[in-house]
Amino acid sequence: MTYLAPRQGLFAIIVFTSFCLHCLLMVVGSENQIDETRQQKGERIVAQLVDDSLIALSYQDRVSLGVMANRFSNEADIALLQIKDANEQILVQIGDAPLQKGDVISAFAKNEDAVIGEVLVTMKQIGKGEVFKSLWPYILGALLLHFLVWLAYGYVARPTKEQLRELSRDVHEHYRNYYSQAENTDVQTQTDVAELTNGNDDILTHLATEEESDKTGNDVLQQHNIGQELDDLIQQNQLNDETTMSMAMSNTTDRDHAFEQESPLITDEEPVDEAEENNHINVHIQFVDENKLLEVVSADYLYPYLDLCSQLLVSAVDEVIKQPILHGLELVNEPSFDKNGAFVELKSDTEHSNIALGGAMLAILYTKLNHVVYQKNLELSNLALPVKVGISQNLTADTLQDALKHEAVENDVLMMVSSAAYEEVDAYMQLMPLSDSNNSYAKNMVLVTEDDESICTRINKMQSSVLMLGS
């Protein structure tokens, strides 16, 4: 196979441009040279006629002047030749192109100091065709020479077989390195995606071994051993529940009375279908994304992060539903995260399942889980965002979502439910009114925080269980 020389087409354009410039220079140079030659020739003819025609001009002998002028009638360069007397009258005029314009060369014939006549010679103009006609052999030779130069370049610059083999090795090595780098990048991306999708082993290992402190600055709680049996945990939880319920029942009346006196959050108005409303609870989770990171981050990092959040949320829901104190609690939807957050709907067919307490426990549990994941992701320079959570019932869902967007800050848990649901949660957790808000709906909303020691312990155990499960 015959290979062309490198950039042989570009070199052909350069050679053709050089040929055109050579032709232009030859034509211009030849035209200037012919002009100069004709100018000199015309001056010689005029000078000779002036010298020869002095006597004939003195006597205005037209015959003698005509004989003198006819000697130049066959000159192809002369367009017009005129001999005039002292009064500017034409005595003799010859030429094969008297109407053609051109360079006029003139001289006066003098007898002593008196002007007795004038000789004028008009030289023909030079045409481009005439120049090309005289230069065509040279133009054809220049074309042939440039063509030979182009062929010589194509032969000399053509790569040899050894150079082709070396070039092939270089190209192969380049593409091998390129695809190797692309493969490594793809493997790294898949690794990152797998790490984030599967819970990120570093994060979950760290989370499984770390101890989480609560918001009030309590001492660090020891995590459960991974090998502890589920039955032992449930039995222990049941014992804790019995103790908690016995302590809570004695104080419920006083706390409910104090809550109603101090907070305007509990209203006397009940929904139309009170049983149906109190048997459903909604948990709204929103990201705190002040810098709009979710709108600009690459999908390779966004979706694995959302999958990780969804996995933690599902595990948290499972842990909450398993609690004996929340017996009868069921998950209605399949919660998952997107850019707007997540939505969890819980229901119960019984009146004693503490469904409002379950929603509050889920909200606080996920807030604590996300806080740990958020801190660890910041250490690893990965995508991470804090959250804020709201708890509502069906009739208050829209109002709660709007308040969650404008009133809450990161790690806040807001609640907007019926009076019965408030009383249920108030028996185990602290409810704080949003007294600093200017919105009218904030009067019926509270900020939920952990208060009861047994609830704190229970939530921390559920957190440890979720993290151990993820590891």
Residue 377, CA atoms < 13 Å, CB-side half-sphere: 21
The three-point CA angle 134-135-138 to 5° equals 145
- pLDDT at 111 exceeding the cut of 70: yes
Helix axes 453-470 and 299-321, enclosed angle (nearest 10): 130
The single-letter code of the amino acid at 404 is L
- pLDDT at 5 exceeding the cut of 70: yes
- pLDDT at 20 exceeding the cut of 90: yes
Within 274-337, strands assigned E span 280-287, 329-331
Cβ atoms 23, 128 nearer than 8 A: no
* Intrachain domains 8-156 and 198-470 with the same fold: no
Least confident of 190-194, 204-208, 254-258, 312-316: 254-258
Q: What is the mean pLDDT of the segment spanning 109-124?
A: 84
Q: What is the distance between the alpha carbons of residues 104 and 79, in angstroms, rounded to a whole number?
A: 10
The single-letter code of the amino acid at 94 is I
> Where residue 173 falls among pLDDT bands split at 50, 70, 90?
confident
Exposure of 17 by Cβ count < 10 A (0-12 exposed, 13-18 middle, 19+ buried)?
Answer: exposed
What pLDDT does residue 259 have?
37
Average pLDDT, the chain: 76
Q: What is the mean pLDDT of the segment spanning 257-273?
A: 41
**pLDDT tens digits, residue range 213-229?**
443 334 333 333 333 43
Residue 305 token pair: 């992060």
Least confident of 36-45, 178-187, 286-295, 451-460: 178-187
Q: What is the distance between the alpha carbons of residues 327 and 330, in angstroms, rounded to a whole number?
A: 9
Its CATH architecture, for the domain 8-156, is: 2-Layer Sandwich (3.30)
Least confident of 100-104, 248-252, 465-469: 248-252
> Where residue 344 falls among pLDDT bands split at 50, 70, 90?
very high
> Which residues, 6 or more positions from 331, have their beta carbon under 8 angstroms from its beta carbon?
317, 321, 344, 345, 346
Longest dimension (CA), the chain: 161
- pLDDT at 397 exceeding the cut of 80: yes
Instruction: Tell me which of 418 and 222 has the higher pLDDT.
Output: 418
Superfamily assignment of 198-470 in CATH? Nucleotide cyclase, GGDEF domain (3.30.70.1230)
Task: Select from 379, 374, 402 the least CA-distant residue to 390.
Answer: 402
What pLDDT does residue 433 have?
80
What pLDDT does residue 252 have?
38
Domain boundaries, the chain: 8-156, 161-197, 198-470
Most confident of 91-95, 215-219, 244-248: 91-95
What pLDDT does residue 193 have?
52
Least confident of 45-49, 75-79, 186-190, 382-386: 186-190
Cβ atoms 387, 285 nearer than 8 A: yes
Residue 431 has φ and ψ, to the nearest 5°, of -115, 125
